[in-house]
Structure 1
Amino acid sequence: MSNIKSLFVTRLYHALLSEHGPAIDAAEMEASCYAIAEDDEAGQDWCEENGFPGYTSYASLTDLPWRFPIFADLVKSLDKHVMAFAEDAGFDLDGRKLVLEDLWINILPEGGTHSGHIHPHSVVSGTTYVAMPEGASAIKFEDPRHAMMMAAPPRVKDVREEMKPFIYIAPAVGDVLLWESWLRHEVPMNMSEDERVSVSFNYRWE
């Protein structure tokens, strides 16, 4: 009898942020994101200069947990989620820890996209979702083996999820997604008239 198994699995962690750490008030988090975006002139300038749709604090602010206590509470929750993901991934951390490297706000308007990318120099990356209006774009993950599929035919439409070349995840407010930082991902066009708000982050091995 033939034996076919799956090898070299790519893990994607999807949970409620509230499963670990203090409860995070979604309305307060959303208000905090907008307050920071309004005051962050350096971030606004960077977005305009680089043709970045909407707003991100990625290139301008490194101290969100210091500015607003709600972000400090968020980090406490994220630390525990990342620990759970690391355990599932079987990481041998050799007595060291995965620690927060950076944390930033994303506000994506109607028609905005975030093109495909990875997060170099980090181990675990992720996003938690603050505002996801109806029609807001999912996050799209790409099979990391694409560069090696020179002559492979396309997959049938109803192929099993783990064999699809792209996976779309439509998270809800209060969800957290984690993945290894080498996994290429993007945010397709936001089709909602309202803004899509999220907080993304990287963890490094220290």
Structure 2
Amino acid sequence: MSEIKSLFATRLYRARLSELGAAIDPDELEASCYSIAEDDEAGQEWCETEGYPGYTSYASLTDLPWRFPIFGDLVKVLDAHVAAFVEELDFDLGDKSVVLEDIWINILPPGGTHSSHIHPHSVISGTTYVSMPDGAASLKLEDPRLPMMMAAPPRKKSARDDLKTFFYAKPEVGDVLLWESWLRHEVGLNMADEDNRVSVSFNYKWE
């Protein structure tokens, strides 16, 4: 009897933040994001110099949990979700742990995009969503085998999710998405009419 296995799985974890910890008030978290962005002159300057649309604290701030207690609460909840995902991935951590490496704010205005990239020095990457107005861009994930598919025909539009070349995850406010950091991803054009797409992203490392 013939048999077909699915090999070399690429996992995407999706859950509500509140499933594994104290509820995080999205309004308070959003207000904190804007407050930090307004005061972060170094981050504003970096975004302008690098042509980054909107605002990110990625290159300027490393102490968000210290600045606002809500980020400290958020990290505790994220730790629980990452631990659950690590368990699912069957990692052999030895005498080490997967711990938070960095966490940062993203404020993407209408018309803004975030180009395709990976996080090569981390193990788990992810994002939790603070504001997703109508028309806000999805998270686009790319099959990591794509560069080796030079002669392959395209997939049907009706292909199963696990066979698609690209997968578009449309998160809601309060969702957390996790993936392995080698997985290439991007945020497409923010088609919201006026409102910003606000999220908090993070990396976890093995140490």
Superposition TM-score, scaled by structure 1 size: 0.99
Aligned to 1:74: 74
- Give the ranges of 4+ consecutive aligned residues of structure 1 lying more than 4 Å apart after TM superposition: none
Equivalent position SS for 1:112: coil
Q: For 1:148 and 1:191, locate their aligned partners in 2 and report how far apart those are by CA, in whole Å.
A: 32
Aligned to 1:3: 3
Structure 1 residues 51-81: Cα deviation after superposition (integer angstroms, max 9, x where no partner): 0000000000000000000000000000010
Q: For 1:161 and 1:79, locate their aligned partners in 2 and report how far apart those are by CA, in whole Å.
A: 27
Aligned to 2:186: 186
Aligned CA-pair RMSD: 0.6
Aligned to 2:154: 154
Aligned to 1:138: 138
Structure 1 residues 17-57: Cα deviation after superposition (integer angstroms, max 9, x where no partner): 11112210000000000000000000000000000000000
Number of equivalent positions? 206
Equivalent position SS for 1:199: strand
Aligned to 2:12: 12
Matched, 1:173 2:173: yes
Query: After superposition, where does 1:27-38 map in structure 2 within 5 Å?
Result: 27-38=27-38
Query: After superposition, where does 1:9-158 map in structure 2 within 5 Å?
Result: 9-158=9-158
By how many angstroms is 1:156 displaced? 1.1
Q: For 1:160 and 1:62, locate their aligned partners in 2 and report how far apart those are by CA, in whole Å.
A: 39
Query: After superposition, where does 1:189-200 map in structure 2 within 5 Å?
Result: 189-192=189-192, 193-200=194-201
Where structure 1 has 5 or more consecutive residues not aligned to the other structure, the ranges are none
Aligned to 2:205: 204
Equivalent position SS for 1:102: strand
Q: For 1:120 and 1:2, locate their aligned partners in 2 and report how far apart those are by CA, in whole Å.
A: 38
By how many angstroms is 1:95 displaced? 2.6
Structure 1 residues 135-168: Cα deviation after superposition (integer angstroms, max 9, x where no partner): 1000000000011101001111101110000000
